[in-house]
Amino acid sequence: MSAVMISRRNFLVTGLTAAGGFAVGLPLGLGSAQADSASAGKIGFYVEVRPDNSFVLGTAQPEIGQGVRTSLTMLIAEELEVPWERVSIEPMPLGIVKTADGYTWKYGGQGAGGSTSVTDAWEFLRQVGATAREMLVTAAAQRWSVPVGRCHAEAGYVLCDDNGQRFSYAELAADAAALPQPEEPPALKPQSEFSLVGTPRNTIDARDIVTGKARYGIDTEMPGMRYAVIQRAPQLDAKVVSYDDREVRQVPGVVDVFKIDGPEPGAPYHILAEGVAVVATSQWAAFEGRRKLRIEWTESPWKDESTETFWAQTAELLSGEGQVVRDDGDFVGALSAADKTVEARYQVPYVNHAPLEPQNCYADVREDSVHIIAPTQSPSGSNRAAHTITGIDREKIRVDMTRVGGGFGRRLTNDYTAEAVLISQKIGAPVKLVWSREDDVQHDFYRPSGEHEFKAGLSADGKVTAWTHRLASASKYYRRENVAPEDMYGAEMYIDDFPAGIVDNLRIEWLAVTSGVPRGSWRAPAHTANAFTVQSFIDEVAHAAGRDPLELRLELYGDNRELPYGQHGGPTFNPWRLSRLLKHVAKEIDYGAERPKGRAVGIASHFTFGGYAAHALEVEVGSQGELDIRRVVAAVDCGVVVNPRGVEAQLQGGTIDGFSTALNLEITVDQGRIQQSNFHDYRIARMAEIPRNIECHILPYGDTPTGMGEMGIPTVAPALTNAIYNACGVRIRKLPIADQLAKQLS
């Protein structure tokens, strides 16, 4: 995966000086000379004041549905002191600047992954708003010839405390833009004075969406543009032997057919698979042409791989020893000294990202420039992909970002940009490449599959004295040059996750599965698998100990304290914050109530990328295995809440994604080929299959926010399978749940 190569940290140190003489340490150029456009009302990169005193604020981050165009804009508007009703947004392109030390960000870091947008922008974008506001106040003070301290900003105006007069920002914008930028960012207002941040706000550009005006990558139309599709190798890593395009070229509108060379098996990739491109004058002609292609493929080096061989391999690996990646205390001794031991294995399947907007990319490769328009989570990765193929200077490669029809991690990888660039380069014209749904289901960087083995030791009084988690999986670090074999586990096991630091004698092992199935980041990456397995096993341990699963968790999570957490989402983890959520959801769902036979509650809680979440579900399981999810209570602690309406949306959506995936989603392999191909056999849940109400609770904490894109998912599957066990005694240890209940109960 072409990850962002530009350090976010680097930006604050050098970014602005590199961008043209801005003050070091101030993360934004605000002088008019540094604005991208010469518009009279433009104050720096992000703020534009229109003549009617409305405000257009730049959004630099990819909007994939996580709501950043709204939440990040709120941060600017809070300090800019403008009425939210008068704010609109303007998407910004990728901004990178070459320095002596490599590339750095022009507008601040750009990329949507790891739920970092709000956290990273929390100070920076408030400083953007505050700086522009202070320049407007200074411009007004100069006009009135009064000290700056005698003026203040309010609702899009600067008011003079001495003479009672006021100027609109529109009247001041040109003067403000000409002022030197302050050397230090102004002090930010205390959170107690927030008037916008923390209030529920609707999606700022929703009207465009509901009227069909919102533009996605797939909607791109440019003069002279061709349309392209690619027939990719149906079997993993197969190559083109030959192809017959005679019938293809008979299809009206088809203008070109050619081979796209794929990467060598196992080598770092720029595109996923080898294939044959069909270029046409319309999208439909390209699809029709592709249907007529006759391609002979080489035998896949993975022709013997199937889902069955995958599980045979994990079983074989788990019978041996793995790479010990964390070893606390004396696990072996503690286990053998235990009064009772518990063990279980769980299986998690490969799953497809399936963003609803199929992959697509517009590319126009010229002699010394490239223009890319793409739905991407990583615009700098898109830029780099184009640079790698063309050799053109990265500053000459423009990347425009559209609204993105779902990300889920798929669009952190820019293979489709690389494909579009290759095609544009070959035909010497601009092109829009579009994938079909079949292309997307069959050619993905899937969420890794794996088998998890747990063992725990219990003392006579029911305390957990020993714990091991061993995982056999294929790392999502897929074909990476820069990851050593001994570091591959890092994508699959976050070694400071619960119960590390809590159970004294603990061992974590990883075992590498060999698989040809491409892997990548899928919303909340390894947290989905690890929350499912750890939160299932803690229930199994509680039942073995004769203890209540909630009570055992509360004991283990313990007092309010910060434990060191070295992975993404750290530097610390406070398990007590999970207890706080669990107590809340338990109360809401009436955890201790007597329920009729077949009906029960299940709980789970997990720390994901700095945020804390818990679910409590009430289910009823019928005698034939019919599953009815009767109540869903979800709670999240994402620190300071910027936009409660957006947080609720992410918690609802994450919960529904969790249900959809746990209930039915699985990618299987046979003879080195993905067996699913579209939504008829990769069944994303429809509305009728999802509980009608998701009760969402937001419990703010502390003085900084975390993101919300990912923490809603991981606890859904274990809360569901724990509830199922409590209701009917069937322990689901393999996802998806699918028809397992019917098979076991009827």
Q: For binding to another protein (CB under 8 A), which residues are involved?
A: 63-67, 202-203, 206-207, 209-216, 218-219, 221, 227, 252, 282-284, 287, 354-358, 403-408, 434, 436-438, 645, 649-650, 652-657, 660, 678-680, 684, 686-688, 690, 692-694
Q: How far is the CB of 221 from another protein (least distance, A)?
A: 7
CA distances, 635 to each of 118, 178, 200, 477, 694 (Å): 19, 48, 17, 31, 10
Q: Say whether 102 sits in a helix, a strand or coil.
A: strand
DSSP H or E stretch at residue 170: helix 169-178
Return the sign of the alpha-carbon dihedral for residues 191, 195, 201, 205.
Answer: negative
The nearer residue to another protein, 535 or 660, going by C-beta atoms, is 660
Q: How far is the CB of 402 from another protein (least distance, A)?
A: 11
C-beta of residue 608 within 8 angstroms of C-beta of residue 524:
yes
Cα–Cα separations (whole angstroms), residue 98 to 95, 289, 640: 10, 42, 35
For residue 478, the minimal CB distance to another protein (Å) is 23
Instruction: Give the torsion through C-alpha atoms of 318, 319, 323, 325, to 10 deg.
Output: 60
| CB of 569 vs another protein, minimal distance in Å | 22
- We find the least distance from the C-beta atom of residue 645 to another protein, in angstroms, to be 6
Nearer to another protein, 336 or 693 (CB): 693
In the complex, what is the shortest distance from the CB of residue 693 to another protein, in angstroms, rounded to a whole number?
Answer: 7
Q: Which of 273, 280, 279 is nearest to 239 (CA)?
A: 273
Least separation in angstroms between CB 646 and another protein? 8
Q: List CB contacts of 147: < 8 A, sequence separation 6 or more.
A: 141
Question: Measured from the CB atom, is 416 or 467 closer to another protein?
Answer: 416
Nearer to another protein, 218 or 464 (CB): 218
Task: Report which secondary-structure segment, H or E, holds 48.
Answer: strand 47-49
Kind plus residue range of the DSSP H or E element containing 88: strand 87-91
Minimum Å gap between C-beta 430 and another protein is: 15
Distance CA 155, CA 249 (A): 62
Which of 360, 393, 398 shows the shortest CA–CA distance to 380? 398
Cα distance from N-terminal residue to C-terminal residue, the chain: 45
The residue among 118 and 434 lying less far from another protein, judged by its C-beta, is 434
Helical spans, DSSP H, in 262-370: 283-291, 307-318, 331-337
Query: CA-CA distance, 444 to 358, in Å (whole number)?
Result: 11
Rounded to the nearest whole angstrom, what is the least distance from the CB of residue 200 to another protein in the complex? 8
Q: How far is the CB of 666 from another protein (least distance, A)?
A: 17
State which residue, 162 or 626, has the beta carbon closest to another protein.
626
| Closer to another protein by Cβ: residue 136 or 286 | 286
Cβ-based nearer residue to another protein, 185 or 653? 653
Q: Which is nearer to another protein, 65 or 381 (CB)?
A: 65
DSSP code per residue over 605-663? EEEETTEEEEEEEEEEE-TT--EEEEEEEEEEE-BS-S-HHHHHHHHHHHHHHHHHHHH
CA distance 301 to 293: 23
Q: How many CB atoms lie within 10 A of CB 576?
A: 15
CA distance 593 to 602: 13
Minimum CB separation of residue 602 from another protein in Å reads 20
C-beta of 284 vs 298, nearer to another protein: 284
Beta-strand pair 226-232/431-434: parallel
**Looking at beta carbons only, is 516 or 654 nearer to another protein?**
654
Beta-bridge partners for 365: 370
